[in-house]
Amino acid sequence: MRIPPAESPTIELFAATGLDERQLSAVLLGVEEEGVPCVVSHREELNPLVLAKSAATSSRLGVGIGMSLDYAVVTLDKLPEARPYIVVQSTSAEAARLLGSNAARIVKRIPLRGFTERNQ
């Protein structure tokens, strides 16, 4: 049985209208590298926390990304809007790509990249 595209499990990415396409492309590249599907929608909202929470609520996987201005936010549908999982303030393509990769890793339930452990 084939799942219709509108119902297939994806990470939802809600981006503010007018967002720099380079930032958006870098996040999508990070998600794609992990093999998790992602759907992009442009919204008039400027608050990345609101965008991320709305995206997570819309996602069948429960993971959403919100992007606006210089911020990118990853959150889960179960988290409060004011307490996102990851927040990045950067226009760096490397940081955006890492954020996308980590959003996909949350779905896959594997360790996130770019964080150091505190062993001592």
Cα 35 to Cα 47: distance, rounded to the nearest angstrom: 28
Model pLDDT, residue 19: 93
Q: Say whether pLDDT at 115 is over 90.
A: no
| % of the chain surpassing 70 pLDDT | 90
Helix, strand, coil shares of the chain, percent, nearest 5, are: 35, 25, 40
> Model confidence at 116, in pLDDT bands (50, 70, 90)?
low
> Model confidence at 8, in pLDDT bands (50, 70, 90)?
confident
Model pLDDT, residue 90: 80
Q: Say whether pLDDT at 9 is over 90.
A: yes
What angle (nearest 5°) sits at the alpha carbon of residue 19, between those of residues 17 and 22? 145
The predicted model gives 28-37 an average pLDDT of: 97
pTM of the model: 0.90
Count of CA atoms in the C-beta half-sphere (13 A) of 59: 31
- Domains, the chain: 9-108 (3.40.50.10150)
Q: Which two tokens stand for residue 58?
A: 């819309």
Predicted confidence (pLDDT) per residue in 33-46, tens digit: 999 999 999 999 99
The predicted model gives 101-114 an average pLDDT of: 96
The predicted model gives 50-58 an average pLDDT of: 98
